Amino acid sequence: MKKFLVLSAMLMFCCATLLFAKDWRSGIDWKEPAVVTPGEKCGNPPSDATILFDGKDLSAWENQKWKIENGEMVIPPKGGTNRTKEKFGSFQLHIEFATPAEVNPKATGQQRGNSGVYLGKYELQILDSYENTTYFDGQCGSIYKQRPPQVNVCRKPGEWQSYDILFTRPDLKIEDGKVKEVVRPAYITVLQNGVMILNHHEIEGTGFYDQPPRYEPHPPMMPIELQDHGNPVRFRNIWIRPIPDDNTKPPRVREPYYHQ
Ligand code: MG
């Protein structure tokens, strides 16, 4: 009986709290978020995306030597790197890739399915890392020579994989052609095949094969670049959504208040 009375009192207290709770408002007049229609299936571009490759043409890309086969963009022999004509600062990027299905058993480590997505100067590695070990900060999903992915979620060679990338550009103070100060480093978050592999990772600068990473001067807006490392890696369904730099709050137009 005592237990019943205690439970009843607690229930009444909760109901009264909800009934008399007031609706707190910040006093900031936020702009209404734009309506964006999501893609029909996961990975499809939303309505406000810039399409970089949809299987039809290479019009968004500088290097026209790359081939289109069955709606896929393929690196031909000695095709060279390719970069977007448009330049970007911070962005959300979706890209799908497949390393070659035919695996040369003599090719190991960095020789197997090597390419890369350059976010301006910063390489997110593409490699066949399915049962193919290399140095960990050079495997698929790494920021090259800086940070391995948190997990290896690679599919088999020849199978399609995806990167969903959130990239925040660095803020560099440049004087006399040199980086005087890194006001804010670049940050990157990556999902590979829907699985988080890098979470708000701080990029240390451009990665080099033979030198430690460092920030080099570059403009705020840079193209997206796809690396030709001598392997016929394929790409499809590439789209991007620029992220506005200004993420500051609008001024508070009145003191916080309780909405009636
Ligand atoms: Mg590479």
Q: Which pLDDT value is given to residue 64?
A: 96
Cα(63) to centroid(ligand 1), Å: 18
Q: Residue 245 contacts by C-beta under 8 Å, 6 or more apart in sequence?
A: 89, 90, 169
Q: What sign for the dihedral angle of Cα 216, 65, 63, 163?
A: negative
Cα(226) to centroid(ligand 1), Å: 9
Cα(135) to centroid(ligand 1), Å: 13
User: Mean of the pLDDT values across residues 248-257?
Assistant: 87
Three-state secondary structure string covering 159-181: CCEEEEEEEECCEEEEECCEEEE
The pLDDT tens digits for 71-101 are: 999 999 999 999 999 999 999 999 999 999 9
* C-beta of residue 127 within 8 angstroms of C-beta of residue 140: yes
16 — pLDDT class (breaks 50, 70, 90)? low
pTM: 0.89
Say which residue, 18 or 89, is predicted with more confidence. 89
Q: Which pLDDT value is given to residue 211?
A: 92
Q: CA 44, CA 167: separation in Å to the nearest integer?
A: 19
Cα(56) to centroid(ligand 1), Å: 25
| Portion of the chain with pLDDT greater than 70, in percent | 94
Residue type, 234: R
Cα(141) to centroid(ligand 1), Å: 10
Q: For 84, phi and psi rounded to 5 degrees?
A: -70, 150
Cα(129) to centroid(ligand 1), Å: 12
